[in-house]
Amino acid sequence: MLEKEGRGVLNPNCVDYMGRNALHLAIDSESVEAIEILMEKYPPDVTPLMLAAHKNDHEMIQMFLARGSAIEKPHAIYCQCQDCFVKQQCDSLKRSRSRLNAYKALSSPAYIALSSLDPITETFELRQEMMQIAEVEKEFQ
């Protein structure tokens, strides 16, 4: 079992003889505690599914999607809902980084292939959306 603070150093990239890493095993065993420990080194706005998409890990993405996970598209840049307003006022850089992480995950070839009924159309629509965002948000250029 994983220990948060133990004798040894936890290497989350270590794999077993079948090529499964610690996060694979934690997901397979549905160990929420282990998943949380493994995810501590990542920013809070990066979900396990997003991380799998960032790494273009087909198998991990498939496992998360089978369990009902999905990556939500960020709100429009000019969204004035309470959540967006607070994020913009508190830390606009953090908000931009969060948006970049989401779009990076959404544009993963493995995620698009596994989550879309029409991956080619989805790719072109996402490209168009990101080009429009790049005109407004300099971080997307």
16 within domain boundaries: no
Report yes or no on whether pTM surpasses 0.95: no
CB-CB contact of 56 with 93 (8 Å):
no
For residue 3, is pLDDT > 50?
A: no
8 within domain boundaries: no
For residue 82, is pLDDT > 80?
A: yes
Burial 45-69 (b: 16+ CB within 10 A, else e): bbbbbbbbbbeebeebbbbbbeeee
34 within domain boundaries: no
**Tally of structural domains, the chain:** 1
46 within domain boundaries: no
61 within domain boundaries: no
- pLDDT at site 2: 46
32 within domain boundaries: no
CB-CB contact of 112 with 122 (8 Å):
yes
pLDDT tens-digit profile of 27-51?
777 777 887 777 777 777 888 889 8
Task: State which residues form the domain around 103.
Answer: 72-140
13 within domain boundaries: no
For residue 123, is pLDDT > 90?
A: yes
83 within domain boundaries: yes
DSSP classification of residue 113: H
